[in-house]
């Protein structure tokens, strides 16, 4: 298993695994893929870094089961956003999410980052996601009521690196 930079041919895998989770609307998936496309074109210019979790250790093969997208938060000094993280539904429960999250924390530290932010929804469907972040050291630090829609708040979780 390895976490490696996204390649162009991984795009359909990322789309497939996002759909498999059942967590994202069509608009959300399109938005996630826009960032993937920006990263394919130029990660440094776009400010979006995308990595995949590949079960295969053979460079000639690909078995993509998860992905993560993060980048520096514009106009900040050392703050980063975790924009997207997802593990294919059939591969969940193996610690791959944690592996991806720890990879991001390491990469952000290496780039001089000091704060990693995660924004998510207060909807019940995300309860498992929020518990996952809290277990990994991301307390809830702010809430924007009715952000996504009435009675669907934005939650901001954060870890100091």
Nearer to a second copy, 135 or 151 (CB): 151
144 binds a second copy (CB under 8 A): yes
Candidates 39, 65, 158, 159: give the one binding a second copy (CB under 8 A).
158
Q: Can you tell me the distance from the alpha carbon of 128 to that of 56, in angstroms, rounded to the nearest whole number?
A: 27
Q: How distant, in Å, are the alpha carbons of 122, 127, 154 from that of 36?
A: 25, 26, 23
Candidates 45, 75, 124, 151: give the one binding a second copy (CB under 8 A).
75
Candidates 8, 61, 149, 151: give the one binding a second copy (CB under 8 A).
149
Candidates 9, 102, 134, 146: give the one binding a second copy (CB under 8 A).
146
Structural tokens at position 21: 């989770």
Question: For residues 80-139, which are near a second copy according to CB under 8 A?
Answer: 114-115, 117
Q: For residue 105, how far is the Cα from the chain centroid?
A: 12
77 binds a second copy (CB under 8 A): yes
């Amino acid at each position: 298993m390895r976490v490696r930079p996204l390649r162009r041919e991984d795009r359909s895998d990322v789309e497939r695994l996002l759909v498999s989770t059942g967590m994202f609307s069509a608009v959300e998936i399109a938005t996630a893929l826009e960032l993937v496309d920006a990263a394919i074109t130029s990660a440094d210019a776009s400010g979006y870094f995308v990595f995949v979790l590949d079960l295969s250790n053979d460079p000639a093969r690909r078995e993509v089961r998860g992905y993560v997208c993060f980048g520096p938060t514009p106009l900040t000094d050392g703050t980063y956003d975790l924009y997207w993280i997802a593990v294919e539904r059939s591969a969940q429960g193996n610690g791959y999410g944690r592996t991806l999250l720890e990879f991001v924390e390491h990469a952000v530290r290496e780039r001089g980052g000091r704060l990693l932010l995660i924004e998510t929804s207060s909807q019940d469907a995300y309860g498992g996601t929020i518990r996952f972040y809290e277990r990994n050291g991301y307390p809830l630090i702010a809430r924007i009521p009715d952000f996504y829609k009435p009675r669907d708040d934005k939650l901001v979780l954060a870890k100091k690196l």
